[in-house]
Each structure stands twice: as C-alpha cells, then as structure tokens.
Structure 1
Amino acid sequence: MRRTSRKVCWPLSTCLVVMTLAACTSSGRSDQGGAHEPGPTASPTAIPSAPPSIDGSAPEPCTAPVDVLPEPPADYRLVGEDVAVPDRAVLEAQESGEADPAARLFAKWGLVVRGGAVIDLRVAPGWEDRARVGWGSATVPAVTAHIRACAPVDAGPQWLAFAGGTWVARAACLPLTIRSRGQAAQVRLGVGASCEGTDPPRS
C-alpha cells in the first residue's frame, strides 16, 4: 500500500530546494516504497557539470544535485569546511519499505556540499549493522556515501544540494563521519530521536 509523504519547507526565501528534495527518495521510490512522485521544475540556476580533464581522459562524474545555492540554508550547520547538515534536534523518520533491517526507518533530508568538494560520508564504527546513508539521483542505502560536487560555473560561492537521507534500524542518535580535504569531522543527527543526553561518537 502506498503512503503519502509529508513535505516540509525550510525557512528560506524560497522553498524550491526542499520541494525538490522531498520528491527524491531512496532507489527512485517515494518515502514509503511507492512510485516516484514528480517534483516541481528545478531552480533555473545553472547546474555545474564535470569539466574535461587536462589529459583528455574522462573525469570522475559529478554527483547529480537537485539545486545550486549561494550559501547553505539558514537552518543548516556546517560540518568542517565543505558540508552542511540540518540543524534540527530530531529528523522525522518513517517506515522506508526497505528489506534491509538496518534501513527500516528513513529520514529524508538534503545534504549540502560546497561546489568543487569531494567528500566521503559513513556511519560511525559500530553502526554498520543498524544504519545506512545515501544521496544522489540513484540513491542506494549503504554504509558509506561518496559525493563529488562539481566546481562552480562562475566566480560566486556555490553550494550544491543532494537529495537523500539516513536510514536506521530504529530511532536513534546517529553518529556520522565526514571526510574532506584529508580531514575528518564527526556529527550526530537525531533520526527519529533526540541526541540530547547521549554520549558523543568515538573518534
């Protein structure tokens, strides 16, 4: 049975990015395992593409974004220099319809990455059997996610938004590790439950 998903706008001057992110979910399905819902037309801002490499070989393809922003949304927080995540106490989690028991609940949210950055994001050690992550046009729940944000198409600052989210076996404070520019940063996200009063993830 298909269930409808809720779409909540971020407090920005425009809700376009969130509306677009809400239309994209895991494995091309809706939040609850139904058919993919058509979303509104993407922002008219030019989406950067991978430039040709100097030696003429095919470059690593960029991860397909859903929008380009001049800066992260107001209700997001920076993790390191290149990534922004929701600054909310709890991310709403719903039944995902996934067969993987580690991906029973899904919290939909957009990952925002600085243009030109290449990041690797993974669930913290000890969480491999109870959490998954994924962003991009062909999102598949996995322990790790690799995102290559194409370089800006002009001189202005650009942040790319990617549709996806986090899956958990049960509501939890999920620790994640983000690597960029040879540096690692950790962040905790409340997926269906608050992180208040819980221990921080191990280094």
Structure 2
Amino acid sequence: MSAHAGATRPPPAPALPEPGTGSRTTPIAGLGFLCLVVVLSACTPAGDSRQHATPPADSAAPSTGASVGGPPCTPPVDTLSAPPAGYRLVGEDVAVPDAPVLAAEGSGEADPAARLFAKWGLVVRAGMVVDLRVAPGWQDKARLGWGGTRPPAPTVTVHACAPEGGQAQWMAFVGGTWVARAGCVPLIVTSNGKNDRVNLGIGVPCDKTATP
C-alpha cells in the first residue's frame, strides 16, 4: 500500500537494532521477529479502514470474555515464550518494536488525530494488565489501539489474560499507533503501579538529542 502525503516509508530495521530512546528500555532477543511480523501483518485492528482479517485460532489463547476480578481479556493474535528479536522491553511487562522508524500510511479515519496509521504488534507479559497512553500534549495528535475491541483512543488498557496451562509467558496483540502527522510519539506505559516512557518514530525517526 502506498503511503499518503505526510508519511514516509523507512528502510527495513536492522536485524539486531540498538536500544531505543524510551526510559528503562532494554534490547532483547527471543523468537524470530519475522514470524511475528508475518502473523501480525495478517490482521488489522478495529478502526482501520482496510480489510479486516480473523486472527489465527490458538488453543492456548485465552477467552476474550470478562475475566474474574479484572477488565475483559484483550484478544491476542499469538502466544510466545519470550518477546521476539527486534523488540525492546519497556519496564518489565511490555515490549515494543526497536525499529528506529515505524512506517505510517493513510488510515482513512475521520478523526484528524488518526489520519496516519503505523501497524505494530504490542507484546505483554501473560497475566498482566497494562495501561498505555500518549504523553501530555499529544492527546489531540495521536491515538492507540490493540486487540481490535475498541476505537483508537489516547489511552488504552490491555489485559493479557494468562492462557490455560500457563505455557505461554507473553501475549502478542495486533494494533498500532494513529497520528495526525508523522512524528516522534511519546507513550507512557503503566504496569504494577510503575510508569515508563518510550518514544516511537511514527513515519520519521526520533531525534535522540531532543525530547518531543
């Protein structure tokens, strides 16, 4: 799909990228990043105007109904034993792509803050509930969403319900970031009462010498 005006398509990220600019982030290796990208590319989150696809069935995937003592389970696209190569940890319970730029294309959304869309998979430790939000000053410039259960919003909650049997340690969710225009988007990740910040280059790389 061709990128719309205002978005750029970056070159492929290196196989072993350097750590990003978010706070308390660590480069990690795990299952093949290519395999996860193939799985995530087969699905499209709610709110995207492109064709929707049904995530592959996984016997270890949790139910998407209401969980006991917590928010509804967010439907995953895959279960993993560890975050994949090409991802970095944000805090202890979330992993995001380590690519310097995430490609953004026209979304077809009516919301001016969601004009462009960068698809990427969020990886969350099984059994955890995490909140993700755009940093102050970005509420009218960016939107988030994973799991295809809600429209993109400035703040989202992802509940990675642990699968039956407890074999998988991490859950992967289809979604991404919507933006009004390409830029370095700061996200705040909250898990276990701790806040961690990560900057993501949506359509353009982040300037590591300046805070967005």
The two structures have a TM-score, normalised by structure 1, of 0.81
Helix, strand or coil at the partner of 1:196: coil
The 1:153–1:168 alpha-carbon spacing in structure 2 relative to 1, beyond 3 Å, is: same
| Aligned equivalent of 1:126, options 137, 144, 150 | 137
Residues 120-170 of structure 1: per-residue CA shift (max 9 Å, x gap): 000000001111100013241100010111124335451000000001111
Counterpart for residue 89 of structure 1 = 100
Counterpart for residue 195 of structure 1 = 206
Would you say the 8 A contact 1:116–1:149 is kept in 2?
yes
- Counterpart code for 1:138: T
Give the superposition deviation at 1:61: 2.0
Counterpart for residue 91 of structure 2 = 80
Give the superposition deviation at 1:46: 1.0
1:24 aligned to 2:8? Answer: no
- Counterpart code for 1:185: D
Counterpart for residue 34 of structure 1 = 50
1:70 aligned to 2:81? Answer: yes
- Counterpart code for 1:103: A
Q: How does 1:1-203 map to 2 (within 5 A)?
A: 12-13=31-32, 15-27=34-46, 29=48, 33-36=49-52, 38=53, 41-42=56-57, 44=58, 46-49=60-63, 53=68, 60-156=71-167, 158-200=169-211
Helix, strand or coil at the partner of 1:112: strand
Residues 53-97 of structure 1: per-residue CA shift (max 9 Å, x gap): 4xxxx7532111011000001100000000000001000000110
- Counterpart code for 1:17: L
Would you say the 8 A contact 2:93–2:124 is kept in 1?
yes
Identity rate, percent: 56
Would you say the 8 A contact 1:111–1:164 is kept in 2?
yes
Helix, strand or coil at the partner of 2:36: helix
- Counterpart code for 2:51: A
Taking only aligned residues, the RMSD between alpha carbons, in angstroms, comes to 2.9
The two structures have a TM-score, normalised by structure 2, of 0.78
Counterpart for residue 25 of structure 2 = none
* Long gaps (5+) in structure 2: 4-8, 16-30
The 1:131–1:59 alpha-carbon spacing in structure 2 relative to 1, beyond 3 Å, is: closer
Give the superposition deviation at 1:197: 3.7
Count residues in correspondence.
189
* Cα distance in structure 1, aligned partners of 2:106 and 2:66: 39
